[in-house]
A = this chain, B = another copy of it.
Amino acid sequence: MSLDYSEYLSLVQVRPDDIDLFGHVHSAKYLDYFLAARFEQMQKNYLCGMDEFLSRGLGWFLQDFDISFKRQLKMGDVANVYTRIISLEKTGSIVGFRMTNTSNKLVADGKGKFALVDINNARAVSVPDWVVERYSVKEQNT
């Protein structure tokens, strides 16, 4: 079994409300940029969007998140947000990310650990085989 998951790219626009008192994208926004990229890539690349999980009574809840900030983004920038599965675990996944600016300089990187949960009781459930299969796509579905 390969541990070598594909990395995908989403573009996220900086919006005026993202800017903070230093004139940069506020640090809290990067987590949402990461999640925005995941939502898009679940739909576009893994071909199983959050809608499909929700329709089966499942959701992905973030358990742990860490980020290192390297450079600033500012108004007018577009973030290149790359994410990839680091590992699929019994009841969740670890997803790495890196963001670059339009000059391809590293802006931030880090990872998030997600639990797959039954949205009716918020309990962790085993990652089903169909998810393992979809998340292991190699070709870029773009």
Contacts and interface: CB of A to CB of B under 8 A. Distances in A.
A65 B27 contact: yes
Interface in A2-26: 12-13, 15-17, 19-23, 26
B16 A13 contact: no
Given A64-B68, A76-B49, A119-B22, A32 B17 contact: yes
Interface string A45-57: 0000111000000
Contact of A13 (B13, B49, B64): B13
Contact of A69 (B20, B22, B32, B63): B63
A32 B26 contact: yes
A19 B16 contact: no
A1 interface: no
Contacts of A21: 16, 19, 23, 50, 75
Contacts of A135: none
Which 4 A-B pairs have CB atoms at the shortest separation, nearest pair first? A66-B66, A28-B31, A17-B32, A28-B32
A67 interface: yes
